[in-house]
Structure 1
Amino acid sequence: MHKEESFVENRIKSVGFALRGALLLIRTEASIKIQVGLAILVTIAGFYFQISPTEWILQVLAISMVVGVEGANTAIEKICDFVHPEFDKRIGFIKDVSAGAVMLVSIGAIIVGLIIYLPKIF
């Protein structure tokens, strides 16, 4: 007879799966490697320029949004490639919209970074 797992055991397993997914994303996707590198650079800049708690919050949110949406974009692209490996303009549309979402969030993150750091640099 199979023993049902407790809520806590299920949550621990879920966190493990999520961590594995995050590590897979970082190890296998070039765009995430670049974004993680940039996240490290702006984090170092945050300590160097002694940004305020509010600026830290905005910076962490911006970084999290970009990396999170990039992860979703990667998942969407992988699903599309699995479901329909041959070229199809409908799949292309889905991939383009997904990539566009990453671009929009990235532009927002760049704007946040400029608002935080331009006054400190100049």
Structure 2
Amino acid sequence: MEFQKDNTFVKGRLKSVTYAFKGAVKLISTEHSVMVQFSLGIILTIAGFYFHISHEEWLFQIFAIGLVLSVEGLNTAVEKVADFIHPSYHEKIGFIKDIAAGAVFFAAMTAIAIGLIIYIPKFV
């Protein structure tokens, strides 16, 4: 049987959302670094309610959490593809993985800066 693309807009979007949700669940349930980042996101969300952060602070916090989780997901995808293409160590694959990890580093540093700007004044 030949693959047939779903021609209805709504069904196609619902399938896309379903695949995206499955991917997010796989990412959160299988990748330890994402588990840590997701847990920190939950803790910071609870802290946001506890400290009654402003609407603007919520925007930055939600952006920071989403940024880190998104870049971490892309890093994981790059690593999985690289391992699939070249399972044994290769210098160029290592270079590619390092660059992807560097992107996570920048996202995490940005999120830490945002978190410090939001929460340090709450303790001073």
Query: The TM-score by the shorter chain falls in which range?
Result: over 0.9
1:27 corresponds to: 29
> 1:14-55 CA deviation, whole Å, 9 max, x = no partner?
000000000000010000110111001111110111000000
1:36 corresponds to: 38
Task: Name the amino acid aligned to 1:6.
Answer: T
Q: In structure 2, what is the Cα distance between the partners aligned to 1:83 and 1:100?
A: 21
Which stretches of structure 1, 4 residues or more, deviate above 4 A after TM superposition?
Answer: 1-4
Residues 36, 83 of structure 1: alpha-carbon distance in 2 compared, 3 angstrom cutoff: same
Q: In structure 2, what is the Cα distance between the partners aligned to 1:97 and 1:58?
A: 25
Give 1:7 shift.
1.1
The runs of 5 or more residues in structure 1 that have no matched partner are none
Select the residue among 3, 6, 9 that pairs with 1:7: 9
In the alignment of these two chains, the number of paired residues is 122
Q: Kindly, what percent of the aligned residue pairs are identical? A: 52
Give 1:5 shift.
2.7
TM-score by length of 2: 0.95
Residues 3, 112 of structure 1: alpha-carbon distance in 2 compared, 3 angstrom cutoff: closer
1:81 corresponds to: 83
Aligned positions of 1:1-122 closer than 5 A? 4-122=6-124
Give 1:86 shift.
1.1
Give 1:107 shift.
0.3
Q: Considering only aligned residues, what root-mean-square deviation do their CA atoms show, in Å?
A: 1.4
